[in-house]
Chains A and B, each alone.
Chain A
């Protein structure tokens, strides 16, 4: 989220598209209700299903899953054509005026530089023209034919309301109504908030779905303001934190990245991370990269990280592929290239696509370790449960170790909510049986590895032997000890260069902010964006003052928000070029002539002059990007691509299948249904129910009673066509697997007319498996395709093809 849950109260228009907040985030959705009741805000829902969010919406428009970009490009086109643009914002705070290099072009669904063989682009033309002064060339009049604004205008012109209807199945009048409601928020005193979740991310072009809305929000001037923003409703309670702390194959905490093998040494690594400003005066905050990186290395390896060894740069592994994400991990496993795998509170047998492939892959491991508070299907993948898990137990040679862990109620520490608030919690109960904390288990593994390498030697033991582990009880570091490392501390006194009798920083003290971190080894910080969360003043995350002066929704004294306790990102953009709020009734910060003051922590240097320094301080441009340069793999502007399994060919580029740069493993391609397949004619989508949380709550008696049984949801029309009765058994199958379910025949799903032909939608909730308190049932991932988003590999769960027939149910 750029904003926070409590900020939603400030909005005029909520658009829920790519999510279903009323069901999946009910208590957060209450802030939508609040905005409706107190401000007269309106709610729009665009979704293939008439969800419970839709049920309380002011306007609902249906859409075919996987066609959001066509819809949103259509809205951008509508806003440009009807002059519904927050011009002052667009001109001052976006790269609309930047001139793009000669040679950049777009045609028939592809940009310059496509290599079909590699399924990748040479992105060298996707950039700005650089002037003799080393800065990007701009044309403030927006007249230049190659300025971003004119390229964008030409790019979206194709997405007329007629074309939008043909691609998305959204009737033209409904599309126009939504476009017109959205476009009103181009007013300086009207704001829209975008609330989205997995309905946008779980597509082979998920990142571009989100980016398209972000572009629209910039055109409307809705980023950085109260009641606006791009608000990702994160699923799990700490998935934000796990990502912040960098638990991904290519990450270092705080959104730093691991080196690749094309960066053979530290200088080469830093050379692409210098982030020189692209316009005069810009902060380009990533210029501080080295300070954060060196402080991280010091947190990891202390005295073993020195200037002489480039801060132990070689202790970090170097990547040979963009990432070893889970899809790649299971592909490697299936190929027999992995031996040991650990699942910590994660149940991939349910959570990842193409369950048949997952089971085959797990059976090739030598050892699987599962750490979890609960029984999981993953830990029991070798157990035979008939149709629900047809494992050939005796043949599976994988050893499985299952370790019981504590749950939230028995553990202490911090979690990051969707709005980046880091909130501390305390343990209340004793763990069951012999369950241990994850920290104790990880320590057990680390200390044993250390000991084995000390005794036996072996492959490159240095990073293991030198890992900082100075906890009072090395077998179980406390949450406070660990969080203090994340915040960072001073290792060596730093003296004032003007007055060496004064200490600027004192050894042994917690740092107060990431602003003081240094690249000379005198500071350590595990995760720079968390600096300020545990300072000399104590645990900021545990703060519980819920005062909110003037009811802005900021709650600055409640917990701690990263970065720097800032509640709304890019908040400098809530003011015009002179630093006056666009909407005085929604003031967030303002320039008082010498500094920025207000309700939030300014997202800019407090004395940065408004006319000089742009609000998007993380970008070397200082402005936001309507044109993404080479940062998105499929192009600098969003293009409509069909899902890999689609009931129709791509209308704007019929030859292109799916996202042209998404990674697809060979065997998986063979398991995709053909476009407009007769064998698999129905467009399926997975979803969640309000009574269940993924695959956890099926372990609860109460939730299992509330939603006891697996079902699939279809329209009355499809039910009639296939002679399916409500509550009767059906079989649903894709090219990857087959499930039995009860049919739920509803009015909530209706066939859509796509380019003149009806497309039927099949809704598939995800919550059942073969362990727990609920009835045994099939998980949706039996059916789903093994392909991810081109930029970040989130699986395409929301759009795939199936067939359906009446059935007598599973034979036990």
Chain B
């Protein structure tokens, strides 16, 4: 018995159409068990598969994201692997060098974790709570809007605009985020509003 039998060789043998039980019959019994314990369970058994699209360009390649834990069931889920979705009509499972490295952007060391504030003149960011950050933003919006809102122009036409605060929207967020953003921004009368379509 060659104890150096590699995992690949083992799988090759198994892949030749020999079922586990037959392997046993062929005398692989002890080693089979040893190997079974070192082989990781199949990804499909161990992880949850979720369908998504590549976040980069608008070829919008279909992807499958595999995570330990099921978010849909309210569990904590840790993404372990991302690959192309072979059912997708556009990319048919393929990904480019950007899409192939998607896991890296999800797990990037420069992902932001906490709300932070940089105070006037300071050389660092400091932690701030979500409530304090949002309160501060709302206060700044309100004060600026009340001070600079133009209800009528010099000809007396109702214009109801606010141009001293601006909002730059993203390019990779969902339509639903876009709509939520649109409602919030436009209802304030804000006109300095743009997105990334230009670049």
Is A340 within 8 A of B165, CB to CB?
yes
Is A696 within 8 A of B105, CB to CB?
yes
Given A325-B198, A691-B97, CB of A700 within 8 Å of CB of B108 = yes
In the bound complex, how far is the Cα of B78 from the Cα of A778, in angstroms? 34
> Counting CB contacts under 8 A, is A110 at the interface?
no
Is B118 within 8 A of A400, CB to CB?
yes
Given A401-B128, A401-B133, A771-B110, CB of A340 within 8 Å of CB of B58 = no
Most buried by B among A245, A395, A432, A701: A245
Min Cβ gap A549→B in Å is 13
In the bound complex, how far is the Cα of B101 from the Cα of A351, in angstroms? 22
Query: Which of these, A343, A351, A483, contacts B176 with CB under 8 Å?
Result: A483
Min Cβ gap A272→B in Å is 16
B:108-158 near A, CB below 8 Å: 108-123, 125, 128, 130, 133-142, 144-146, 148-149, 151, 153, 155, 157-158
Given A238-B174, A400-B117, CB of A247 within 8 Å of CB of B112 = no
Min Cβ gap A353→B in Å is 9
Chain A residue nearest in CB terms to B162: A317
> Counting CB contacts under 8 A, is B16 at the interface?
no
Min Cβ gap A773→B in Å is 7
How would residues 146 to 185 of chain B score, 1 for a CB under 8 Å from any chain A CB and 0 otherwise? 1011010101011111111111111111111111111111
Given A401-B136, A429-B77, CB of A242 within 8 Å of CB of B90 = no
Is A428 within 8 A of B59, CB to CB?
no
Hey, which chain A residues are within 8 Å of B190, CB to CB?
Answer: 317
Most buried by A among B58, B109, B122: B58
Query: Which of these, B53, B142, B148, B165, contacts A237 with CB under 8 Å?
Result: B53
Chain A residue nearest in CB terms to B54: A237
Is B55 within 8 A of A237, CB to CB?
yes
> Counting CB contacts under 8 A, is A403 at the interface?
yes
Residue total for A at the interface (Cβ-Cβ under 8 A): 166
B:56-89 near A, CB below 8 Å: 56-62, 65-67, 69, 71-72, 76-79, 82, 87-89
How would residues 93 to 113 of chain A score, 1 for a CB under 8 Å from any chain B CB and 0 otherwise? 000000000000000000000
In the bound complex, how far is the Cα of B140 from the Cα of A342, in angstroms? 12
In the bound complex, how far is the Cα of B143 from the Cα of A448, in angstroms? 13
Given A318-B160, A366-B140, CB of A446 within 8 Å of CB of B193 = no
In the bound complex, how far is the Cα of B128 from the Cα of A369, in angstroms? 13
> Counting CB contacts under 8 A, is A706 at the interface?
yes
Hey, which chain A residues are within 8 Å of B195, CB to CB?
Answer: 239, 242-243, 247-248, 346
> Counting CB contacts under 8 A, is B22 at the interface?
no
Query: Which of these, B53, B175, B192, contacts A530 with CB under 8 Å?
Result: B175
Hey, which chain B residues are within 8 Å of A795, CB to CB?
Answer: 198-199
Is B175 within 8 A of A486, CB to CB?
yes
Hey, which chain A residues are within 8 Å of B117, CB to CB?
Answer: 399-402
Interface stretch, picked from A24-32, A64-72, A186-194, is: A24-32
> Counting CB contacts under 8 A, is B51 at the interface?
yes
In the bound complex, how far is the Cα of B72 from the Cα of A337, in angstroms? 46
Is B130 within 8 A of A438, CB to CB?
no
In the bound complex, how far is the Cα of B169 from the Cα of A238, in angstroms? 11
> Counting CB contacts under 8 A, is A89 at the interface?
no
Given A324-B192, A530-B175, CB of A344 within 8 Å of CB of B167 = yes
In the bound complex, how far is the Cα of B120 from the Cα of A433, in angstroms? 26
Is B170 within 8 A of A345, CB to CB?
yes
In the bound complex, how far is the Cα of B109 from the Cα of A375, in angstroms? 9
Hey, which chain B residues are within 8 Å of A337, CB to CB?
Answer: 163-164
Is B50 within 8 A of A324, CB to CB?
no
In the bound complex, how far is the Cα of B180 from the Cα of A532, in angstroms? 19
Min Cβ gap A419→B in Å is 8
Query: Which of these, B48, B82, B164, contacts A339 with CB under 8 Å?
Result: B164
> Counting CB contacts under 8 A, is A693 at the interface?
yes
Min Cβ gap B20→A in Å is 32
Chain B contact residues: over half helix, strand or loop, or mixed?
Answer: mixed
Is A692 within 8 A of B52, CB to CB?
no
Is B183 within 8 A of A446, CB to CB?
yes
Is B151 within 8 A of A460, CB to CB?
yes
> Counting CB contacts under 8 A, is B191 at the interface?
yes
In the bound complex, how far is the Cα of B100 from the Cα of A351, in angstroms? 24
Hey, which chain B residues are within 8 Å of A530, CB to CB?
Answer: 175
Is B120 within 8 A of A248, CB to CB?
no
Is B138 within 8 A of A448, CB to CB?
yes
Hey, which chain A residues are within 8 Å of B46, CB to CB?
Answer: none
Is B182 within 8 A of A318, CB to CB?
no
In the bound complex, how far is the Cα of B59 from the Cα of A530, in angstroms? 20
Interface stretch, picked from A78-86, A208-216, A407-415, A737-745, is: A407-415
Is B60 within 8 A of A428, CB to CB?
no
> Counting CB contacts under 8 A, is B31 at the interface?
no
Min Cβ gap A385→B in Å is 12
> Counting CB contacts under 8 A, is B104 at the interface?
yes
Hey, which chain B residues are within 8 Å of A696, CB to CB?
Answer: 56, 105
Chain A residue nearest in CB terms to B61: A27
Is A28 within 8 A of B166, CB to CB?
no
Is B197 within 8 A of A237, CB to CB?
no
A:564-601 near B, CB below 8 Å: none
Hey, which chain B residues are within 8 Å of A548, CB to CB?
Answer: 89
Min Cβ gap B158→A in Å is 5
Is A442 within 8 A of B149, CB to CB?
no
Is B53 within 8 A of A233, CB to CB?
no
Is A555 within 8 A of B170, CB to CB?
no
Hey, which chain A residues are within 8 Å of B174, CB to CB?
Answer: 238, 241, 411-415, 425, 479
Hey, which chain B residues are within 8 Å of A396, CB to CB?
Answer: 120-121
In the bound complex, how far is the Cα of B184 from the Cα of A463, in angstroms? 10
Is B58 within 8 A of A236, CB to CB?
yes
In the bound complex, how far is the Cα of B53 from the Cα of A409, in angstroms? 9
Given A338-B165, A408-B172, CB of A426 within 8 Å of CB of B158 = no
Hey, which chain A residues are within 8 Å of B90, CB to CB?
Answer: 5-6, 27-28, 417
Is B111 within 8 A of A413, CB to CB?
no
Min Cβ gap B84→A in Å is 8
Is B56 within 8 A of A237, CB to CB?
yes
Min Cβ gap B182→A in Å is 6
Query: Can you sample 26 A-B contacts with CB below 8 Å?
Result: A27-B91, A240-B58, A245-B178, A245-B182, A340-B141, A341-B168, A344-B170, A345-B172, A394-B121, A399-B118, A410-B106, A413-B173, A413-B174, A417-B58, A428-B52, A435-B112, A438-B177, A442-B180, A443-B184, A486-B175, A526-B179, A693-B57, A697-B56, A703-B98, A703-B101, A773-B109
Taking A339-B165, A340-B165 as given, write out 20 further A-B residue pairs in contact, using a Cβ cutoff of 8 Å, ordered by the A residue number. Answer: A236-B196, A237-B60, A244-B175, A247-B178, A261-B157, A300-B187, A326-B198, A341-B167, A346-B168, A346-B171, A351-B196, A384-B123, A417-B53, A442-B177, A443-B184, A467-B184, A469-B183, A486-B179, A690-B96, A788-B198
Binding site for A on B (CB under 8 A): 48, 50-62, 65-67, 69, 71-72, 76-79, 82, 87-91, 94-102, 104-106, 108-123, 125, 128, 130, 133-142, 144-146, 148-149, 151, 153, 155, 157-199
